[in-house]
Chain A
Amino acid sequence: MKTIIKHVLYDILRSRIVLAYTVFMLVLAFGLFNLEGDPAKSLLSLLNVVLLVVPLISIVFATTHFYNSYEFMELLMAQPVNRKKIFLSEYLAVALSLSAAYVVGIGVPVLLYGANATALFLLAVGVGITFVFVALAFLASVVTRDKAKGIGVALLLWVYFALIYDGIVIFILYFFSEYPLEKASLAMIALNPIDLGRIVVMLNLDVSALMGYTGALYKSMFGSGTGVAISFGILLLWVLFPLLTSKRIFSKKDI
């Protein structure tokens, strides 16, 4: 398994897309920190961008990578290697390389301009979201053999989590505003990794006071140590569910 990961990592590095991603993150973070005088403010702006860009890059890159290395995987399958191992190695290699790019790209400026608990949360959330969206990308890729279709499904997933889902939830909240929806909204947050990540970071930015009763509820839910553990646990579930599903499909699939 280690050898396969090494080979895939080498392959990814050769394509230079991950390097470009790192440089992009670096430029973005340095730019934001220099534009805003207040590091806390730039962290907020960074959070906005990270929650939009990281899922997009992760999902698109992982999908294209999966289809591009189809031949390599076929070659490996001809060898006495377990299919699950091939699949998991591919996943880990992609997720780790993207996470590394993210940690370097965001982590270095953050360390230079003001490392605090919030910044660490931002880093952790970014890594978690990378893992989640690479898993979702692999799920989209194993569902169909057609590359264009696969990328289409992946993009659709991104649009759904970044935009459509929030729209639906706002609509539900507005439509049922007569009812106490605080607990329900908690559950709805858990159903979207991007929202989950945003709220974990936001609550650590001391904006919960703005949120009134809802904020107090969230703060008691997400603000404490156990709350943070729970939210990262949910993120882990968001990794495991698509990953295990796609692994099962991949193992049984006709190649």
Chain B
Amino acid sequence: MTDHIKHSTTYIGIAFLLLLCSIAQAGTIKVCPTCPEKSVSKAVANAKAGDKILVDGGVYKENTIEINKPVSLIGINNPVLDGQYKGEILTIRSSHVFVKGFTFRNVEVSYLSDFAAIRVAEASHVKIINNKVQDAFFGIYLQRADSCVVQGNRVKGNGKTETSAGNAIHLWYCNAITVKDNKVSGHRDGIYFEFATNSHIENNLSQNNLRYGLHFMFSDGNVYKHNTFRQNGAGVAVMYTKNILMENNLFENNWGAAAYGLLLKDISRSVIRNNTFKRNTTGIYLEGSSKLDVEQNDFLNNGWAIRLLANCTEDTFRLNNFIANSFDVATNGNVMLNQFSGNHWDKYHGYDINKDQVGDVPYRPVSLYSMLVERVPSSVMFMRSFIVNLMDRIEKVIPSVIPEQLVDASPSMKKISYDRDKKSV
């Protein structure tokens, strides 16, 4: 027994010694305009694995800095790495790299390669924290990366057209990435995921991007929480994905002829909960999506709250609030294989005799006019005209055109309130 304890103390002692050695070995290299070392790329080249490179404030006109060993690159007093519009600035090809506190700017726009301010290629456990990226083609680009953290960065682009702008945060074939507290704007897509799985996207703000605030495809098992997507050219589009969780996000002011709060195409087995959709042309657009739980969301002041194409199946819409939307639900066919129940509709005119807060008359969220607009888009010019109101009233009393099954049998009389974690923006 005592023998055993003695052994373990020896081991711990040896481990401690080893740790001391490694700390002693890990050097610190200082870079500043007046230091012996004036170049970040040389410092990186000279550094040994585990070294810490401290870069002091100043402008460093350098590009194509390549990190291929585990080092920490730390900016003090906000140093600026200026790429001078020549290729990339920082490429990380090693795992366990830490980059913090820099401003990256002026990355070349290319139609041949995707130049990025920071690229992480085939590495894991890389942390990119509190950097600023200005006027870059691509901002932060992760390819074949694993278990990385992208946190607290501000990526501000200067894109003019979709073809000449890249994405702010771009993930390609990645796994278990955390994208947190970032603010991105002015790029083509704010956050772009392709084949990125099991990742957490939290507390980001994506606004004023040319195309989508968030765009992901083939990215299963991701979690999106507390993000804000605002005033993006076409809102948020997500495609060909399953098992995602979207909670407490805010989709706001995505307004335009081809803009969507949230566009879902071929999404399945996912949960959309506690989100707010405010003043979007279309709150949620669903095409070919199945087995979605859309619960406890607020749809406020949208043009269409939900556009549900007839090729969607087994979607459930429960306990949502629909308030002041021009159209609550629109669809394009007569078949409806989705379920609505317990939602609150501000256009509901029914009554509640037994006072259980559930309306006694079913509510049909699709109006005759919305069916007409879906079939004949130019009839939208009669919006808010007397004849349209008349037609809708008559159709509500005697439904003949609107889909028979699209009905909320238990509409809530009161606005549904639920716990929503306060956003911290």
A218 touches B257 (CB 8 A): no
Chain B hits for A170, CB < 8 A: 372, 379, 382, 387
Q: Which of A144-181 contact B (CB under 8 A)?
A: 162-163, 166-167, 169-170, 173-174, 177, 181
B255 at the A/B interface (Cβ < 8 Å)?
yes
Q: Is B45 on the interface with A (CB-CB < 8 A)?
A: no
Contact for A202 among B383, B386, B387, CB less than 8 A: B383
Q: How large is the interface on B (under 10, 10 to 19, 20 to 34, 35 or more residues)?
A: 20 to 34
- In the assembled complex, the Cα of A174 lies from the Cα of B259 at a distance in Å of 26
A213 at the interface (CB under 8 A from B): yes
Query: Could you say which of B256, B377, B385 contacts A209, with CB atoms under 8 Å apart?
Result: B256
Residues in B with CB closer than 8 Å to A212 are 257, 377, 380
Interface string of A172-200 (1 = CB under 8 A from B): 01100100011001000100000100110
Q: How near does chain B come to A244, taking the closest CB pair, in angstroms?
A: 29
Q: When the two chains form their complex, are residues A166 and B385 in contact, meaning their CB atoms are under 8 A apart? A: yes
A214 within 8 A of B: yes
A166 to B304, CA, bound (A): 23
A215/B372 in contact, CB under 8 A: no
Closest to A210 in B: B303
CB-nearest residue of chain B to A192: B385
A213 to B258, alpha carbons, bound, how many Å? 9
In the complex with contacts A162-B386, A163-B387, A210-B326, A218-B381 CB distance below 8 A? yes
A-B contact count (CB 8 A): 82
Chain A residues whose CB sits within 8 angstroms of the CB of B379 once the complex forms: 170, 173-174
Majority SS at the chain A contact face:
helix
Question: Do the beta carbons of B381 and A214 come within 8 Å of each other?
Answer: yes
Is B349 interfacial (CB-CB < 8 Å)? no
Knowing A174-B372, A215-B257, A216-B257, the reply to whether A199 touches B381 (Cβ < 8 A) is yes
A47–B380 CA distance with the chains assembled, in angstroms: 17
Known A-B contacts A195-B381, A207-B303, A209-B257; the reply to A174 vs B386 at CB < 8 A is: no
Residues 23-54 of A at the B interface (beta carbon under 8 Å): 41, 44, 47-48, 51-52
Interface members, chain A 47-89 (any B CB < 8 Å) = 47-48, 51-52
Q: Does chain B have a CB within 8 A of A20?
A: no
| Nearest CB in chain A: distance from B291 CB, A | 29
Residue A211 CB within 8 A of the other chain: yes
Q: Which of B376, B378, B389 is the most central at the interface, judged by chain A CB atoms within 10 Å of its CB?
A: B378
Chain B hits for A216, CB < 8 A: 257
Which of A44, A47, A185 is the one whose CB lies under 8 Å from B381?
A185
Q: Please measure, in the bound complex, the distance between the C-alpha atom of A47 and the C-alpha atom of B388, giving whole angstroms.
A: 14
Chain A residues with CB below 8 A from B387, complex form: 163, 166-167, 170
For chain A, the bracket of interface size reads: 35 or more
Residues of B within 8 A of A206 (CB): 255
Indicate if the CB atoms of B380 and A51 lie closer than 8 Å.
Answer: no
Instruction: Decide yes or no whether B6 CB sits under 8 A from chain A.
Output: no
Q: Which of A79-137 contact B (CB under 8 A)?
A: none
Q: Does B249 contact A (CB under 8 A)?
A: no
CA–CA, A52 to B388, complex, Å? 13
CB of A215 within 8 A of CB of B386, answer: no
Which residues of chain B have C-beta atoms less than 8 A from A213's C-beta? Answer: 257, 377
Inter-subunit contact B386/A211 (CB<8 Å) = no
B303 to chain A, nearest CB (A): 4
For B255, give the chain A residue with the smallest CB separation: A209
Contact between chains at B380 and A198 (CB < 8 Å): no
State whether A51 and B255 are in contact (beta carbons under 8 Å apart), knowing that A213-B377, A214-B380, A215-B380 are contacts in the complex: no
> What 0/1 pattern do residues 352 to 394 of B give for CB contact below 8 A with A?
0000000000000000000010011111111111111110000
Q: Which residues of B contact A166 (CB under 8 A)?
A: 382, 385-388
Contacts of A211 in B (CB 8 A): 257, 377, 380-381, 383
Decide if A209 touches B281 in the complex (CB within 8 Å): yes
Residues of the B chain whose Cβ atoms lie less than 8 Å from the Cβ of A198 = 384-385
Q: Give the docked Cα–Cα distance between A44 and B384 (Å).
A: 8
Q: Which residues of B contact A181 (CB under 8 A)?
A: 376, 378
Q: Which of B259, B303, B382 has the most CB of A within 10 A?
A: B382
Q: Is B324 interfacial (CB 8 A cutoff)? A: yes
Across the interface, do A173 and B324 meet the contact criterion of CB distance under 8 Å?
A: no
Q: Are A182 and B259 in contact (CB under 8 A)?
A: no
Give 20 new A-B contacts, CB below 8 A, not counting A207-B303, A211-B381, A218-B381: A47-B384, A52-B386, A162-B386, A166-B382, A166-B385, A173-B378, A174-B376, A181-B376, A182-B378, A185-B378, A198-B385, A199-B381, A207-B326, A209-B255, A210-B281, A210-B303, A210-B383, A212-B257, A212-B380, A214-B381
Q: List 11 A-B contacts (CB under 8 A).
A: A47-B384, A48-B384, A52-B386, A169-B382, A170-B379, A173-B376, A174-B376, A174-B379, A181-B378, A195-B381, A207-B303
Using a CB–CB cutoff of 8 Å, the interface residues on chain B facing chain A are 255-257, 259, 281, 303-304, 324, 326, 372, 375-390
